[in-house]
Amino acid sequence: MADQHQLLVDGAWVDPAAGEHFDTVDPATGEVLASVAAAGADDVDRAVTAARRAFDGGAWGLAVPERERAEKLFALATLLRRDVDELARLETLDCGKPLEDARWDVEEAAFMFEYYAGWATKITGDIPPVGPEALSLVVKEPVGVCGLIVPWNYPLLMACQKVAPALAAGCTVVLKPAEQTPLTALALGRLSIEAGLPPGVLNVVTGTGPAAGEPLVTHRGVDKISFTGSKAVGQHIMRLCADDLKRVTLELGGKSPNIVFADADLSEAVPGTALGIFGNQGEVCSAGSRIFVERSVYDDVLGGLVDEARAVTLGSGLDPDVTMGPLVSALQRERVEGYIGLGKQQGARLAYEGTRPDHPALAGGFFVPPTVFETDSLDLTIAREEIFGPVATVVPFDDVDQVTRMANDTEYGLAAAIWTRDIGKAFAAAKAVRAGVVWVNDSQPAPSEASWGGFKQSGIGRELGPYGLEAFLESKQIYVKLA
Ligand code: ADP
């Protein structure tokens, strides 16, 4: 029988109030990995109450010396590094990605705690001049109890991207992992106990979006929601947050442009472009899914991209030879296959379509092979909507003005990649593209020390670096009359 998991509430593992569970499956085989507690509103209420008590009662937050907060976060980072092999394996089993990628995720998750542990002792305010007769101190305080709702494409990393800055800021949290990939969040919960986090500081509730996520969003005891996921759910959450003016940070989708100019070093640009759309099975919010190529190098880049797609080895992420795993779920496979069907139907030219792995053990897996479409029209659904799968749409262009217009012709604004040897052209394009992250001669790096987040409908607010910390702080002005 598969392992059965509980909820982490107030430092203890507890059964869900309604006694219900759901299965999480290995997307490479469709086999059940574990049975996971299905939290409902009662469980969320218990978790929020515990987080509230830890925050208001002084177990965490302003009442705890910053050094002590930092020590606990460093301890958690050390435990994540100790267990990197086990956690990477768990991540691959639960979400499908190749083991090497999962290992990178876990190491970066550990670094996230180290980075923000350092920040815990460096949160300072300001003393703005307000004249000779008064002193005005602007201090930073934790926003309070935070509901953290994370997706399934980087389960542990996305969780830590929120948990680490929230705890460093002094907030207490209720973490709700995606129902498709709850296992590493539960492991993080176990490690948090070992690291000595006081009860209630980090609570983990597993369950579906509507049953466990929504009660967290609407709970009056929660001060802030930080969400990463689809645009539709982000919009819904923001509407719900309006009811009690809850603070909200949203990291949503994208339809990011990847622009290859004719003067680019194609030996870098082609594999970088391929990584941008095929990396992590294309299940990446910043995937470079619209690939714009200057006409004089169009055939070379398209040919190179098709070669890269052909070189992909699709299979179980646990197999060391595999470079692309299955999609996370049958539903996600259905969605992506739906977009591939639409691409064909609406007249995009199919430059390459791979094949599924034929190994019988993988027959029940949710595989979608890499696919490359060509089109001149940005009106096609595949050129407009986020697909979240390994489906590239390649479009030719003739000059800088045209390509920046096309790059910005989207409701999204998360990321963009620009490939050129001309530094002037790179900066001009970087300034013209309306996106929160612009890569020049690279694709997808997201250093935890920098900033991450979208323009337009890709989200609200920023994560990572000092910006990610700021998202969990409130400013308070203390005005003292001196005269
Ligand atoms: P996807 O459609 O790709 O699964 P979602 O945006 O639905 O992406 O999921 C991201 C996260 O949001 C998951 O943890 C999911 O459970 C959660 N979620 C989904 N619907 C809701 C909702 N109505 N309220 C709160 N959280 C939700």
- Helix or strand or coil: residue 358? coil
Cα-to-centroid distance, 229 and ligand 1 (Å):
6
All residue ranges of the chain with pLDDT < 50 are none
Which residue type, as a one-letter code, is found at position 184?
Answer: T
- Helix or strand or coil: residue 217? helix
Cα-to-centroid distance, 468 and ligand 1 (Å):
21
For atom 25 of ligand 1, the residue with the nearest CA is: 213
Cβ of 382 closer than 6 Å to ligand 1, yes or no, is no
Predicted pLDDT of residue 187: 98
For atom 23 of ligand 1, the residue with the nearest CA is: 210
* DSSP-assigned beta bridge partners for residue 243: none
- The residue from 283, 285, 308, 374 that is catalytic is 285
Tell which one of 22, 206, 233 to mutate to probe ligand 1, the residue whose CB is within 8 A of the most ligand atoms. 233
**Nearest residue to 259 (alpha-carbon basis) of 87, 110, 121, 443:** 443
* DSSP-assigned beta bridge partners for residue 167: none
Residue keyed to tokens 């507890």 = 14
CB 284 within 8 A of CB 392: no
Torsion sign, CA atoms 140, 142, 147, 152: positive
Cα-to-centroid distance, 209 and ligand 1 (Å):
5
CB 61 within 8 A of CB 214: no
Measured CA to CA in angstroms, residue 296 lies from 196, 261, 264, 266 at distances of 60, 9, 12, 12
Cβ of 179 closer than 6 Å to ligand 1, yes or no, is yes
Cα-to-centroid distance, 151 and ligand 1 (Å):
7
What is the distance between the alpha carbons of residues 474 and 392, in angstroms, rounded to a whole number?
Answer: 41
Tokens read off for 202: 């980090």
For atom 18 of ligand 1, the residue with the nearest CA is: 209
Predicted pLDDT of residue 2: 73
Cα-to-centroid distance, 39 and ligand 1 (Å):
14
Which residue type, as a one-letter code, is found at position 113?
Answer: F
Predicted pLDDT of residue 163: 99
Annotated active-site residue 285? The verdict is: yes
Measured CA to CA in angstroms, residue 212 lies from 121, 220, 437 at distances of 33, 15, 31
pLDDT tens column, 347-361: 999 999 999 999 999
Cβ of 283 closer than 6 Å to ligand 1, yes or no, is no
Tell which one of 44, 149, 283 to mutate to probe ligand 1, the residue whose CB is within 8 A of the most ligand atoms. 149
**Terminal CA-CA length for the chain:** 74
Cβ of 91 closer than 6 Å to ligand 1, yes or no, is no
Q: Which atom of ligand 1 is nearest to the CA of 388?
A: 3
What is the distance between the alpha carbons of residues 294 and 403, in angstroms, rounded to a whole number?
Answer: 9
Residue 8: φ, ψ to 5°? -100, 110
Tokens read off for 444: 């997808």
For atom 21 of ligand 1, the residue with the nearest CA is: 209
Tokens read off for 196: 């000595």
Burial annotation 409-426 (CB, 10 A radius, 16+ → b, else e): ebebbbbbbbbbeeeebb
- Helix or strand or coil: residue 48? helix
* DSSP-assigned beta bridge partners for residue 254: none
Return the axis-axis angle of helices 84-95 and 155-169, rounded to nearest 10°: 120
Annotated active-site residue 146? The verdict is: no
Cβ of 38 closer than 6 Å to ligand 1, yes or no, is no
Cβ of 308 closer than 6 Å to ligand 1, yes or no, is no
10 Å Cβ neighbour count for 393?
25
pTM check: above 0.85: yes
**Nearest residue to 269 (alpha-carbon basis) of 224, 295, 300:** 300
Cβ of 149 closer than 6 Å to ligand 1, yes or no, is yes
pLDDT tens column, 377-427: 999 999 999 999 999 999 999 999 999 999 999 999 999 999 999 999 999
Cβ of 166 closer than 6 Å to ligand 1, yes or no, is no
Cβ of 209 closer than 6 Å to ligand 1, yes or no, is yes
For atom 27 of ligand 1, the residue with the nearest CA is: 209
Cβ of 230 closer than 6 Å to ligand 1, yes or no, is yes
- The residue from 251, 294, 386, 463 that is catalytic is 251
10 Å Cβ neighbour count for 190?
14
Predicted pLDDT of residue 1: 57
* DSSP-assigned beta bridge partners for residue 8: 13, 204
Which residue type, as a one-letter code, is found at position 27?
Answer: P
Predicted pLDDT of residue 381: 98
Strand pairing report for 172-176 and 202-204 = parallel
